Amino acid sequence: MVNFGDLQTEIYLAGLSGVVPSLPMSFADLERRAEQALPPGTWSYVAGGAGDEHTQRSNRTAFDHWGLVPRMLRARTDRDLSVELFGTTFPTPVFLAPIGVIGICTQDGHGDLATARASAATGVPMVASTLSQDPLEDVASELGETPGFFQLYCPTDPEVAASLVQRAEAAGYRGIVVTLDTWVTGWRPRDLATSNFPQLRGRCLATYFSDPVFRSRLEKSPEDDPGTAILTWATMFGRPLVWDDLAWLRSLTTLPMVVKGVCHPDDARRAVDEGIDGIYVSTHGGRQANGGLAAIDCLAEVAAAVPDVPVLFDSGVRSGSDVVKALALGATAVGIGRPYAYGAALAGTAGVVHVLRTILAEADLLMAVDGYPTIADLGPDAIRRT
């Protein structure tokens, strides 16, 4: 078995020939270089958060008050970081979280495709966003043998919503992830200061503009009248979902369905009772609501409330140690967000692959050193609040 931590040996051996990594090895350096690579408007949209960004910062700093408990004399030269999710075994416990503007983060303007190729290269599943620069089918075609998932921002038009879900199922996605906290966008001063909302400029709307039901709502095609198509999308985006909508959403597909944005155990329990197959703990990286709890501090209670279903997690994950902490607190799989967007900005597919390999290498080595050779060995006893 090849361990993800072997990456460090690969780097050190290359160094004997004078070769050093061309991409950053720390998140701080990755973030700094990505800011230099991205246009200011794109950078502020990707890097920014809601309000004064307190929740965004808390998502990050909250990991610091959780500490892993080292266990000795349990060393193994091979580790197993695989997880099972909806009947499929994945080689790693991480996934690529949906990013609605990943399409414009790469230099060629096709970041969704670059991310899908990185997914294919690493076996790390991608959750593809509704808001993509390329149609959802084109993204799926680049995933290779790696299963992907489709994230739905539910439109107000139920027939368009059904069409998006049916297209995703036909394209081969293995599940639908419904985002609950973005039926209206949060207050984002960075974007407001530059009057920058990419979708209103026609960016990352290819999945909508290629949808036959959406196109039937237009007198002219998006190619002939993009302005009207954009305004139609704007009036359609964001159905304010309520509990009664879950049965309708569930009826749209036989694929596993996950609800994203759940941070309260009662909401998790009720969603499962309503037929939802997985819970996704997330605060949208602090982009939607300011002043709330850090997502990592909500994870354990939610996971305990629904012990028999997968629990996905994201928000604030920047390193391999963050991944391991989230797994110990009950996550089935952990989403990587901004770090891979920054990798994409620097080197497209290769940049995303680099970010994933470094995060997995750190997670693997941390588990080796601390005496947790498999994810099954991680649990409540492996972590303490400091």
Structural element, H or E, at residue 116: helix 111-122
User: Strands (DSSP E) along the chain, which ranges?
Assistant: 66-68, 83-85, 88-90, 94-96, 127-128, 149-152, 176-179, 257-260, 278-281, 311-313, 333-336, 383-385
Which of 48, 22, 114 is CA-nearest to residue 358? 22
Helix, strand, or coil (residue 303):
helix
Which of 71, 124, 72 is CA-nearest to residue 96? 124
Which of 78, 88, 151, 169 is CA-nearest to residue 124? 88
Distances (CA, A) of 34 to 28, 150, 198, 336: 10, 26, 18, 16
- Supply 249's token pair: 């959403």
- Supply 45's token pair: 């949209």
Question: For residue 141, which phi and psi values (nearest 5 degrees)?
Answer: -65, -15
Which of 340, 317, 365, 342 is CA-nearest to residue 11? 365
CA distance 250 to 248: 5
Provide the 8-state DSSP code for 225: -
Q: Identify residue 355 by its one-letter amino acid code.
A: V
Residue tagged active-site, from 65, 110, 264, 284 = 284
Question: For residue 363, which phi and psi values (nearest 5 degrees)?
Answer: -60, -45
Question: For residue 341, which phi and psi values (nearest 5 degrees)?
Answer: -65, -40
3 state SS for 193-234: HCCCCHHHHCCCCHHHHCCHHHHHCCCCCCCCCHHHHHHHHH
Torsion of CA 135, 141, 145, 148, to 10 degrees: 10
Provide the 8-state DSSP code for 290: S
Is the separation of the CB atoms in 273 and 247 below 8 Å?
Answer: no
User: Strands (DSSP E) along 137-223, which ranges?
Assistant: 149-152, 176-179
Q: Is 354 a catalytic residue?
A: no
Q: Which residues belong to the active site?
A: 284
